[in-house]
Amino acid sequence: MSRPYTKPTLTIPQQISHLQTEGMAIPDPAAAEYWLRHVSYYRLSAYWLYFEHPKGTPGPRFKPGTSFDQVTALYDLDRNLRRIVMRGCEHVEVALRGSWAHQLALIGDGHSFLDPSHYKARDAFYKSLGNYILDSRNKVG
């Protein structure tokens, strides 16, 4: 049996007030409202964990000097790092695909990628081929 969820849903202004009550400085409530509306309280909560006192510590939840701007700066740092890593992954992906396509072309007539004998996981091959065909038909039609 699942445990009932007892926390009330808070409006954005109530979320801001709650964070302030717990010791977080929010110098620009309009900016905080934008962040909470477009990123969400739940997603940002992972970024303010660093600024919290350990659970069970009496007093405010957040360490002195914690501000909403620090939390969003940390979020932006993580977002930018993720973009840089994904850009790097794209180069690796393109290189692997190009190498794979070239190797397949060397062993056949240019359509070797369609030959199931070149694949160990034939079920996965047929499933991928079916998805490719369906996707191609949807783009044309």
141 pLDDT higher than 70:
no
The predicted pLDDT at position 7 comes to: 85
Angle at 68 between CA 67 and CA 74, to 5 degrees: 100
The candidate with the shortest Cα–Cα distance to 91, out of 101, 99, 79, is 99
The predicted pLDDT at position 10 comes to: 95
The predicted pLDDT at position 140 comes to: 62
Tell me the pLDDT tens digit for each residue of 37-61: 999 999 999 999 999 999 999 999 9
21 pLDDT higher than 90:
yes
Residue scoring higher pLDDT (115 or 69): 69
Instruction: List CB contacts of 31: < 8 A, sequence separation 6 or more.
Output: 68, 72
Residue 109: pLDDT band (50, 70, 90) is confident
- Per mean pLDDT, which range of 49-58, 80-89, 116-125 is the poorest? 116-125
CA pair distance 20, 28, nearest whole angstrom: 12
Buried b (16+ CB within 10 A) or exposed e, 116-132: eeeeeeeeebeeeeeee
